[in-house]
Structure 1
């Protein structure tokens, strides 16, 4: 397979033919914007002699920012306390099943409490509800 980007024109040709070949390749070369998108040229306004220092400074600034944010990151206990992470002591592979089990146990407990709640007339006779607060009326 022949790469069309490589000028394989013989050096033994005349200077006019060599110039035409060079002009042909210059017409098909990518523009600076394309080279910047492909990360071949740096997209910067810094002088070329300072570009390496500019890149190193940017890299160091990013590194410092990451370190600072990692130091301020809350620990696991605080995330559990704020209900961001689950407080389960189970293996990660079992956590989904444990959460599902906990959900069903809570639903069963609520169902049991609803079935065993006192009737409104019992609450009225005990003085907890007034007669005008009867939920059935």
Structure 2
């Protein structure tokens, strides 16, 4: 069976600028970065197999994003709505953003687990460190 030719992609200057910014941005999400790289490689005329090798993704992934961009442009690179139950938490009220009760003591500062700092502290104090008591339980009643 003959293989269908990959769709040709032509970019405007504005699209190329936005895709380059997404492909090389440090704060760009990984999936958005890969999608932008796929489209930029496709616009240079590279084949799907070569794009898959260079970006480290599956060939079907390259085909998917190439076709979606050819049919819908930049908006087509965004995630589609997924089926299923909606999330329980909104981005503003995630489970990590819950406030601690007022009667709880503040959390202890994180300890440094770097080997040098721990070894330096152990060498500088000849006496053994006092036993640590567990932090008070919060909300137990």
**TM-score normalised to structure 2 length:** 0.25
Tell which structure's C-alpha radius of gyration is larger: 1
TM-score (normalised: structure 1): 0.25
* Relative contact order, higher structure (CA 8 A, sep 6+): 2
Structure with greater helix share of residues: 1
